[in-house]
Amino acid sequence: MNNKDRVQIDGVWYVRETDPVEIDPIYYLGAVFENEAYCFDATVLVEDGEFLRDTFSVKFKNKRTQIEEFWDNNNFFDGLLNDDAISWASFEDSVVVGHRAFFMEFLRELKSKEWF
């Protein structure tokens, strides 16, 4: 073994790693809207510059109660935008009146950018 392949740190000898390391990172794009009561954190994975629309998700945090939810159902998001009663019933359980408009505008913005 060549001394160039070894390194001593604090009196302990180590062998240098010489094998190339291959990585396959996952890329994503994120958007956040936050006010005094809520934080909406949306992400979508990106591959070759294209959004993987079925990976769109929103982490929702109620700052007052510290309760967090994770939403990743595109049918739910589309249902909200299309006034679907089932989607709205679920949504109304999570976000109080007066703050729903913020999330809906956030959702419309991301839909217009084709995140989902």
10 belongs to a structural domain: no
For the chain, helix, strand, coil in percent to 5 are 30, 35, 35
- Do strands 27-34 and 12-15 pair parallel, antiparallel, or not at all (unpaired)? unpaired
| % of the chain with per-residue pLDDT over 90 | 66
The domain in which residue 70 lies consists of: 28-112
Q: How many domains does the chain have?
A: 1
Q: Provide the mean pLDDT of the chain.
A: 90
51 belongs to a structural domain: yes
For the ranges 11-15, 20-24, 96-100, the lowest mean pLDDT is seen at 96-100
21 belongs to a structural domain: no
73 belongs to a structural domain: yes
Instruction: Assign 112 a pLDDT band (cuts: 50, 70, 90).
Output: very high
16 belongs to a structural domain: no
69 belongs to a structural domain: yes
Flag whether pLDDT at 2 surpasses 70. no
60 belongs to a structural domain: yes
pLDDT at residue 3 in the model: 63
108 belongs to a structural domain: yes
